[in-house]
Structure 1
Amino acid sequence: MAAADGARRLASPREATELLADAVQRALCTVAQLVEEVEAAQRRGTAVPRAVLRDVSAAIRSIAERDAQAVVRRSGLPEPWWNASVYDAEGMLLGIVDAWWDDIALAWEINSLAWHLRPQDYAREQTKTALFTAAGVPVLPTLPKRLANDAAAVRRELHDAYRHAASRPRPPVRAVRHDNPTAAG
């Protein structure tokens, strides 16, 4: 598997995460297949891919989500659910959000420009945001580069959004978590 072989040659966990998470997101392989490939390889060069695959297995889908988790951990806010599916009161899927605080129904989206290059991708993101807004759910968008370059400002924005969401009645939405609650700590 090219992704696993490529990750073995990378010294940077950040680059290895991008490579392996991208392969999984594009459905080129599964996490289980990558784990099997890395386990079958010689031990040399597998430390970084093994560590990265633990993150990818814990529902981290990109390096940006890994950076987002680091921002949340330093924010003092409760740990959100990562990659949660959110449904309206009638059971219609509103969308899957990068981070979700269920007690106050707050969504956080890490919106990479790379994922919205095609017009239909951008349109899909706009529709999703409109559905959340119509259901009464605030969505805080953040560019991935700000997670590393402006983390303090992102933490302030998260605090402000959290405080705002907590000050209003929780809308009648339901979320399903897809992360591993023990892996995030």
Structure 2
Amino acid sequence: MTGTPALEQHPSNPFVDGVVRRSDMVAAGHSNYSLATRCRPGGPWQPILPGILLLANSPPNRRQRLKAAVLYARNEAVITGSEALREHDLILTDTTEVSILIPDNRRLSARGYVRVERTSRMPKPVILNGLPFAPPHRAAVDAARHSRDPTDQRMLLFSPVHAGLCSLDDIRTELKACSQRGTAALRPLLDESATPVLTSTVHQGWAKRVINQAPVPNPEWNVPVYNGSGKPLGVADAWWDEVALAWDFDNQRDDGADRREERFTKAGLVLVRTSLPELRGNPEDVVRELTLGFLHAASRPRPKVQAHR
């Protein structure tokens, strides 16, 4: 058969990215001889993985490499590890390896740049740009398990937590349930003694993601606030000194938080209170509340309060 079937140009068919299974090409009308001829050195096409062809003679781009890995692993395959974290916009580092999860009742060898891991705990994939990726907490643990650098391990493990895409409990649960290979160095990172400090940092990470979406200036963080006489009123999780606006997001609704709210209000501060579930799961409403709070604070005379850093 001569010429390239027009199928590969149509976005609704499996040839759209220029990465196809050899069997699909045969089904589309190519003979084995035609495929072998086109995939010779210097030819217009090339094999990229066993049974997978790239319909170009240039190096594959990232999208083509990922699609080829999924086609090679076939049914139920899920991309995990660093490439999944990158797709979730958590890391920018380009990697040479693609980690693929497959059910443990299947047999498939690692080939080329594809690392294959069999698991009895297949995650429900998150479909991004048409490809299946592990959810952030699973991808983070899988990536960290295969790293040997402590700095990279910490960055990989906690990147989705700092970004507000999962909780520390999600990471902790995944570590307990996952394969034990490569986890010995990770478990101390979740030592209970470090959890309060890390948790506060994580909550601030969620808050910073919200601030990046809000039309307000960047605040200062964890600022002690005092009234005009120098009496302490409490610590604002975020503070806009020019308008005396406080944002409280790192405290549960308890007596201490309520008393701080009362002191702030009596001193004339504008206070926006956001629950942690709202902060993590409803950023659009939080952006709206912060914007309205800032406008309200800017429209009234600034009270005589002071902040000590």
Q: How does 1:23-38 map to 2 (within 5 A)?
A: none
Choose the corresponding residue for 1:76, options 188, 191, 215.
Answer: 215
Looking at CA atoms only, which structure, 1 or 2, has the larger radius of gyration?
A: 2
Choose the corresponding residue for 1:11, options 151, 154, 157.
Answer: 157
**In structure 2, distance between residues paired with 1:16 and 1:146:** 16
- Report the CA distance between 1:61 and its aligned residue: 2.4
- Report the CA distance between 1:112 and its aligned residue: 4.3
- Report the CA distance between 1:12 and its aligned residue: 3.8
- SS of 1:63's equivalent in the other structure is helix
Choose the corresponding residue for 1:123, options 220, 232, 255.
Answer: 255
Verify the 8 A CA contact 1:140 1:161 in the aligned structure 2. yes
Verify the 8 A CA contact 2:248 2:274 in the aligned structure 1. yes
**In structure 1, distance between residues paired with 2:157 and 2:216:** 32
Unpaired segments of 5 or more residues in structure 2?
Answer: 1-149, 169-184
Match of 1:167 in 2: 299
Alignment root-mean-square deviation, CA = 3.3
- Report the CA distance between 1:16 and its aligned residue: 8.1
Opposite residue 171 of structure 1, the aligned amino acid is: P
Match of 2:289 in 1: 157
Deviations 1:36-61 (A, max 9, x none): xxxxxxxx86xx99xxx9xx79xx82
Identity of aligned residues (%): 34
**In structure 2, distance between residues paired with 1:112 and 1:91:** 24
Give the paired residue count. Answer: 132
Name whichever structure is richer in helix by fraction.
1
**In structure 2, distance between residues paired with 1:127 and 1:84:** 17
Match of 1:144 in 2: 276
- Report the CA distance between 1:11 and its aligned residue: 2.5
Q: How does 1:49-128 map to 2 (within 5 A)?
A: 61-113=200-252, 122-128=254-260
- Report the CA distance between 1:101 and its aligned residue: 0.3
Opposite residue 61 of structure 1, the aligned amino acid is: S
Verify the 8 A CA contact 1:83 1:99 in the aligned structure 2. yes
Opposite residue 62 of structure 1, the aligned amino acid is: T
Verify the 8 A CA contact 2:162 2:202 in the aligned structure 1. no
* Distance change (3 Å), C-alpha of 1:139 and 1:85: same
- Report the CA distance between 1:13 and its aligned residue: 2.8
Unpaired segments of 5 or more residues in structure 1?
Answer: 20-43, 117-121, 178-185
